Amino acid sequence: MRAALWLLTLAILALQACSPPSKPSTGAPAETLASLQPAPEGTLQVAFLDVGQGDSALITFPNGRTMLIDGGEVEQGRALVRKLERLGVRQIDWLVATHPHSDHIGGLIEVLRTLPVVEVWDIGMPYESPVYRDFLRAVQRARTPDGKRPKFRIVRRGLTLEPSPGVRIRVLAPSEPLLQGTRSDPNNNSLVLRLDAPEASFLFVGDIEREGRKRLYAARENLQADILKVSHHGAANGTDRAFLKRVRPKVAVISVGAGNRYGHPHRETLALLRNLRVYRTDLHGDIVMRLGADRKLYIATTRTSRMSPTATTTRAPAPTFAVIGNRRSKVYHAPDCPGLPKPENQVRFRSAQEAEAAGYRPHTCVEGE
């Protein structure tokens, strides 16, 4: 019944709205920006925004139109809006939620409340979460520049968009039917977008995992891209050697929070990326990539890393944080998990390590983020 109501909500929202480029030259090491800056007129700019342990990227097309892909957690919303304003954004033409996890859609709620939005993309997957419900409510209340409701589009593989002359966006996933029964269905049904522009291509893969990658291979899509937004914040289940052989990127971007409780990025992923130029939001801050008039790719960051971006480090232990266990099932949950046990069955731990030492295992709301 809940799933049916969720699909009905999505349907109402939808009704209410009524060849590969050559490899880029990346030139010298990244310049350090004092602050975020608007894209110069007539250039393509992709800004991977530091939103802590979450994802967010703003594409500014040569004609000035914008696409915002994800927005981090709810508490990042105001900071995200301020960054968008510094980037000269007055409206969002396409607001994209790759999947309904809070670390991807939470900050989009404040964007929908603050800035005009023309169109919203969503995977239309039934998902019980307070943050996702708030996101859908924010879509209903949002307004376009002319005061109407944004168009709400449930997006599937095959959709192609030309937001600016010579620039193309193609949706590579998800496909129908949506994957079910995987370790994390929201992750594996993430929207996967390929951006093709003169002399460079970008691949945005959300938090896609093994099952989602297998479906991409079966669809025989062109996955080759110069710049890869690394899946799932650098988790080991988001990237493997077979995937990198298909993508063949020159540059990789990991959107990740410093000292996060998951130990992202995992050392296995960093080892796979060791021969690439790797940028991380926890080390470099906001990462701005721009295709200049000479069609070369320029990269700048808002922070200087003290370590080599391609260095492989051992996985740091997760920092102390509160988790809530179910004394009956011996499963522990994140504090904001929609499936928390009843109060009488709750037991609190100071850290995930403490819970696991007591014989508890993580709930999917912890594993699937």
**pLDDT tens digit string along 313-339?**
323 333 334 578 898 899 988 766 777
pLDDT at 315: 31
Do 24 and 291 contact (CB within 8 A), yes or no? yes
Query: What is d(CA 269, CA 255) in angstroms, rounded to the nearest whole number?
Result: 13
What mean pLDDT do residues 72-83 have?
A: 97
Six token digits for residue 15? 């009704």
Higher pLDDT, 124 or 361: 124
Six token digits for residue 275? 């021969």
What Å distances lie between residue 150 and 71, 144, 156, 291, 328, CA to CA? 18, 6, 18, 30, 45
What Å distances lie between residue 306 and 20, 201, 217, 280, 326, CA to CA? 35, 28, 37, 12, 41
Largest CA distance in the chain: 65
Query: What is d(CA 170, CA 178) in angstroms, rounded to the nearest whole number?
Result: 18
What mean pLDDT do residues 242-264 have?
A: 95
Tell me the β-bridge partners of 94. 67, 119
Q: Are strands 287-291 and 297-301 parallel, antiparallel or unpaired?
A: antiparallel
Superfamily of domain 2-301: Ribonuclease Z/Hydroxyacylglutathione hydrolase-like (3.60.15.10)
What mean pLDDT do residues 147-163 have?
A: 97
Crossing angle (nearest 10°) for helices 2-16 and 130-141: 20
pLDDT at 3: 54
- In the block, tokens 């298909």 appear at 246
pLDDT at 185: 96
Burial of 186 from C-beta contacts in 10 A (0-12 / 13-18 / 19+): buried
**pLDDT tens digit string along 174-229?**
999 999 999 999 999 999 999 999 889 999 999 999 999 999 999 998 999 999 99
Per-residue pLDDT for 33 more than 90? no
pLDDT band of 30, cuts 50, 70, 90? low
What mean pLDDT do residues 105-117 have?
A: 98
What mean pLDDT do residues 288-315 have?
A: 67
Residue type, 165: P
Do 48 and 286 contact (CB within 8 A), yes or no? yes
Which residues are CB-contacts of 18 (< 8 A; sequence separation ≥ 6)?
A: 151
Six token digits for residue 166? 């010579």
Q: Domain-by-domain residue ranges, the chain?
A: 2-301, 323-367
269-274 LR contacts (CB < 8 Å, sep 24+): 269/230, 269/234, 269/235, 269/236, 269/238, 269/239, 270/234, 270/311, 270/312, 270/313, 271/312, 272/239, 272/240, 272/241, 272/244, 273/230, 273/239, 273/244, 273/310, 274/310, 274/312
Query: What is d(CA 58, CA 67) in angstroms, rounded to the nearest whole number?
Result: 6
Do 229 and 204 contact (CB within 8 A), yes or no? yes
